[in-house]
Amino acid sequence: MKVLALSGSLREEAFSTRLVDAAADLAPDGVEISRFERLEEIPGFNQDRESEVPEAVEDLRSRIEAADALLVITPEYNASMPGQLKNAIDWASRPHGESALAGKPAAVLSSSPMPFGAIWANQQVRKAFTITGTPTVERELAIGKIDEKIDATNRLTEDVARGDLAALLAELNELVAVIADQSGQEAIPA
Ligand SMILES: Cc1cc2nc3c(=O)[nH]c(=O)nc-3n(C[C@H](O)[C@H](O)[C@H](O)COP(=O)(O)O)c2cc1C
């Protein structure tokens, strides 16, 4: 299974981006995680010019389409997901009827040095995914005090957080299998 990870932070040493490595460390066998690294190149979405698709947006859409699943990792800015992440979700959801996000299984992870682990940003991504038709694993994983739980090699050091992230990835794996099974059944003629 190929998972595309989208870190919502542009910061070089972002916990959100470091968590891509932590996820790769805890992923079930057979799950490969790669990161979309061009978030900063995506310009602000303007519906007047949405037919002029920037190359970085083409790349994002084709990477989402080529992946079996998405792992969105969001920080929280002022109780919300960062603007650059919402902007990428908006671009990926267009044009209407051809959204790269429609039907793509996803898991959402958030983290913060604050105790609540960016839960509001996490819930915002999940809410956006209800509108984009992106099936999302039920587990809502928000890792608080992330600065105390990740080491210099980007591995999670706390057992609870390790178990929770491993469970999130296992649920994503299962969701991909369930959706593949459903679409196989739909393809069988009556
Ligand atoms: C503009 C701004 C607003 C922030 N607002 C919140 C917030 O609402 N909740 C929170 O838990 N942390 C907040 N923080 C702190 C971030 O959680 C912290 O900077 C975190 O490391 C950012 O994620 P990153 O490491 O993935 O870049 C804010 C940081 C910035 C720069």
Per the structure, the complete domain to which residue 146 belongs is given by 2-187
Could you tell me the CATH number of the domain that includes residue 156?
A: 3.40.50.360
Pocket test for ligand 1, best of 17, 74, 76 (most atoms within 8 A of CB): 76
User: Separation of 85 CA from ligand 1 center, angstroms?
Assistant: 13
User: Separation of 98 CA from ligand 1 center, angstroms?
Assistant: 33
The pLDDT averaged over each successive group of 10 residues in the chain (190 residues) is: 98 98 97 98 97 97 98 98 98 96 98 98 98 97 98 98 98 96 73
Number of folded domains that form the chain: 1
Ligand 1 near 112 CB (within 6 A)? yes
pLDDT attached to residue 48? 97
CA distances from 71 to 14, 20, 35, 123, 169 (A): 16, 9, 9, 14, 9
Which 3 state secondary structure label does DSSP give 7?
A: strand
pLDDT attached to residue 183? 84
pLDDT attached to residue 121? 98
Ligand 1 near 53 CB (within 6 A)? no
